[in-house]
Amino acid sequence: MGAEAASGPVEAEVVDGVQTVEIEAGRMGYAPREIRLQAGVPTRLVFTRTVEDECSSQVTLPAYGVEATDLPLGEPVAIEFTPTEAGEVEWVCGMDMQRGTIAVVS
Ligand SMILES: [Cu+2]
């Protein structure tokens, strides 16, 4: 899955009707940092933290009620929700510093 820094939003891969994106929480922040999702399709974002850094040890997605979720070092953690309407939402680290952008399209 493309995680190159300079590319545009990464499209989700749909697996069994669930749009899925793998996201690394690493030294340079999130990779990818921008993703694109379809409204109305169940979504699974799989975060893997690859740095010791406290900053990225939790992730949250307030727009869809995903509370601060622990990201143990090196362990993939899935957060699941269904985007309901087109627009832009963000996921943020537990300290509200690092963030990533989700473009929801209908
Ligand atoms: Cu942080």
Mind listing the domains of the chain with CATH numbers? 10-105 (2.60.40.420)
Q: Is the dihedral of CA 46, 59, 11, 37 positive or negative?
A: positive
Residue 64 backbone phi and psi in degrees, to 5: -115, 25
Whether residue 49 contacts residue 73, with contact meaning beta carbons closer than 8 Å, is answered with yes
Q: pLDDT, tens digit, for every residue of 63-98?
A: 999 999 999 999 999 999 999 999 999 999 999 999
How far CA 74 is from CA of 66, 71, 90, 101, in Å, comes to 21, 8, 22, 22
CA 47 to ligand 1 centroid distance, Å: 14
CA 57 to ligand 1 centroid distance, Å: 8
CA 4 to ligand 1 centroid distance, Å: 21
pLDDT higher than threshold 80 for residue 7: no
Give the 3-state secondary structure of residue 56.
Answer: helix
**pLDDT at residue number 2:** 46
pLDDT higher than threshold 70 for residue 6: no
Mean pLDDT of 23-32: 95
CA 54 to ligand 1 centroid distance, Å: 7
Residues of 22-56 as b/e, b for ≥16 C-beta within 10 angstroms?
Answer: bbbbeeebbbbbebbbbeeeebebebbbebeeeeb
Bigger pLDDT: 47 or 15? 47
